[in-house]
Amino acid sequence: MPITHTARTRRRLRTTGRAASVAAVTALALLAALPTQAGAADTDADETPSLALLLQRDADALRDAGATGVSVRMETPAGVRTVRSGVGNLRTGEPVPRDGYIRIGSTTKTYVATVLLQLVGEGRLSLDDTVERWLPGVVRGQGNDGRRITLRQLLQHTSGLPEYVQDVVPDLSAAGYRKHRWSTYTSEQRVAFAMTHAPSFEPGTSWEYSNTNYILAGMVIKAVTGRPWDQEVHARILRPLGLAHTVTPGNDPSLPSPHARNYQQFEPDGPMTDTTLAYLPFDGDADGSILATAADANWFFSALLGGRLLAPEQLAELRRTITLPDRPGDVPGERDGLGVFWTPLSCGGGYWGHSGSSFGALAFPATTADGRTSITVAVHSRPGDEDTAVRQVQGITDLIDHALCATE
């Protein structure tokens, strides 16, 4: 059964198989059975009521489009706004926690890219280094050649390397999720899966999102520093910023409490499956394993774009973008930097971020160019049909656009 990823950041599961589409949970047919529990907006004393109502309206629209639970946290110089809609547990009807832990999926890539760029700033490697220099012999087979691929091409998805995820989802169904979710693979094994496929294009000639790029980026971090990528993320990002509610779980599939439950619909009109436990074959590495609260995700992106993590030269590299093809569910005009995407706003300007996904979950952090305003939207289910998935992603990007334009 296909699960389809719409929009670039959701492509973590879309590329789970170009052969298999990844769609998410919550059938519209079940909406009548869902508790509506919109909940009032939670705000600081200096809240602007109109913005709170705007956020609540758009969160409720996502619920009405089939999402079981939605949470939004927005932070501006004027204060913090949080809204919730739907429920955090279909069985009990409990509300979505105000600032619970969420799977941020491919947003992990921004943390990994930041560490690599810090190493560039320290003179320990160059973006023009080849993969072969740091990982000799690893990228070979079926026309793939690490001697012709640079670290910049890994971070910007212009390497042409094939996707490994399709190989670790042998059965895209509820039964397959339950059967294979405990399987674990090393980074080397994941790359080896990818090397059994031909490249998508010659390095540097096109663009295509591939999780394999960031598995290799994590391996390069270890080759340079002698420590795993997640230890470097802790030492260089989490501890300095005081991000006590950001977790690199390795092969622990659980979510810390509090958290909403996640639900995946594996086929159109099919039942919803509780997928709160991670699917370890693709939820345990440098391409998408980090867990965080929305507050921590907002602070990370605010610090990154505000210049607290990278020197000006490396921050400029992070923000040097290339044009991307428009696809269903994407915002026209999106551009890809190094571990971040730039998305235009309808009111002018744009924002930076990198969304992420896993079975039953979507996370969309977004931050203004100066890092002063950040918002993270979390959706706790994925629908089983492509049209609904596109509508939900559009609803998320509309929410972000409305919120950031309102603050402008």
Reported as half-sphere exposure (CB side, CA atoms, 13 A), residue 184 has a value of: 9
Instruction: Give CA–CA dist 339/342, Å, rounded.
Output: 10
Short-list 165, 143, 76, 197, CA closest to 359: 165
Q: Which of the 8 DSSP states describes residue 29?
A: G
**Number of structural domains in the chain:** 1
| Tokens (6 digits) for 214 | 């960031």
The string of pLDDT tens digits covering residues 301-357 is 999 999 999 999 999 999 999 999 887 778 999 999 999 999 999 999 999 999 999
Asked if 193 and 164 touch (Cβ cutoff 8 Å), the reply is yes
Residue ranges in the chain modelled with pLDDT below 70: 1-49
Asked whether residue 70 is assigned to any structural domain, the reply reads yes
3-state secondary structure (DSSP) of residue 335: strand
Question: Which pLDDT belongs to residue 372?
Answer: 97
Q: 387-391 contacts: CB < 8 A, separation 24 or more?
A: 388/23, 388/26, 388/28, 388/65, 388/66, 389/4, 389/5, 389/6, 389/10, 389/23, 389/24, 389/329, 390/6, 390/328, 390/329, 391/65, 391/66
Asked if 342 and 334 touch (Cβ cutoff 8 Å), the reply is yes
Instruction: Give CA–CA dist 245/36, Å, rounded.
Output: 29
Max Cα separation, the chain? Answer: 60
What are the strands, taking DSSP E only, across 44-157? 69-76, 79-86, 101-103, 140-141, 144-145
Asked whether residue 2 is assigned to any structural domain, the reply reads no
Question: Which pLDDT belongs to residue 186?
Answer: 98
Asked whether residue 275 is assigned to any structural domain, the reply reads yes
Cα distances from 388 to residues 24, 118, 140, 269, 365, in angstroms, run 9, 40, 39, 11, 21
Question: Which pLDDT belongs to residue 285?
Answer: 98
Asked whether residue 31 is assigned to any structural domain, the reply reads yes
Structure pTM?
Answer: 0.91
Instruction: Give CA–CA dist 63/107, Å, rounded.
Output: 23
Instruction: Report the mean per-residue pLDDT for the chain.
Output: 90
Question: Which pLDDT belongs to residue 49?
Answer: 57
Asked whether residue 108 is assigned to any structural domain, the reply reads yes
Asked whether residue 1 is assigned to any structural domain, the reply reads no
Per the structure, the complete domain to which residue 237 belongs is given by 8-407
Direct distance between the N- and C-terminal alpha carbons of the chain, in angstroms, rounded to an integer: 43
CATH number of the structural domain spanning residue 93: 3.40.710.10
The string of pLDDT tens digits covering residues 100-118 is 999 999 999 999 999 999 9
